[in-house]
Amino acid sequence: MNESNRARPGLEDIKINVKIKLSALWASVMFCYIYADYFGLFVPGALQSMLNGQMRPLGATTQGVLLGTSLMLAIPSLMIFLSVALPPKLNRSLNIAVGAFYTGIILITMWSWAFFIFYGVLEISLTSLVVYYALKWPRAPATA
């Protein structure tokens, strides 16, 4: 055995704080949302529908519809920061509630195009992991 193959130390693996995991999951969810919406512009008829003032599947493009969809996307965006900044008890509860809510939203809004289904499966996996990690939030050691 040559010298370079001798007992190499294993790769370092540090424990990542649950807040960082949650924040990274929300960032990944947002990237999936953005890419799915971007590719959705290439669906035949999508741009013409937009030019005609229609926001599929929500109907006419109005200030209310745009505000509502903006709010729907602002919440996961804010969760990237809130997952790091909030105190543990509120953070855990909010991630469980918002993660479960967005998992449900994705389940009912996946379109029939294969790429939408692909992104939907990714998004459901990510938001489910948000709920899982929040539920499994490590407990602080008991103090004497």
In a domain, 118, yes or no: yes
Show the tokens assigned to 73.
């996307």
Number of domains the chain contains? 1
Question: Using an 8 Å Cβ cutoff, are 91 and 97 in contact?
Answer: no
CA atoms within 13 A on the CB side of 70: 7
Q: 3-state DSSP call for residue 54? A: strand
Q: Would you state the pLDDT for residue 110?
A: 83
- Predicted TM-score (pTM) of the model is 0.87
Taking only the tens place, the pLDDT of each residue in 37-87 is 999 999 999 999 989 998 877 889 999 999 999 999 999 999 999 999 999
In a domain, 67, yes or no: no
CA 70 to chain CA centroid, Å, is 15
In a domain, 68, yes or no: no
Mean pLDDT of the chain: 92
Q: Is the pLDDT of residue 97 over 80?
A: yes
| Cβ atoms within 10 Å of 133's Cβ, excluding its own | 20
**Residue scoring higher pLDDT (47 or 132):** 132
| Closest among 22, 127, 28, 4 to 82, alpha carbons compared | 22
In a domain, 129, yes or no: yes
Burial (CB < 10 A; 0-12, 13-18, 19+), residue 111, is: middle
In a domain, 1, yes or no: no
In a domain, 123, yes or no: yes
Q: Is the pLDDT of residue 2 over 70?
A: no
Full domain range(s) for residue 127:
17-40+77-135
- CA distances, 69 to each of 26, 74, 135 (Å): 17, 9, 28
Q: Would you state the pLDDT for residue 42?
A: 94
**What mean pLDDT is predicted for residues 19-43?**
96
In a domain, 71, yes or no: no
Burial (CB < 10 A; 0-12, 13-18, 19+), residue 40, is: middle
Taking only the tens place, the pLDDT of each residue in 99-111 is 999 999 999 888 7
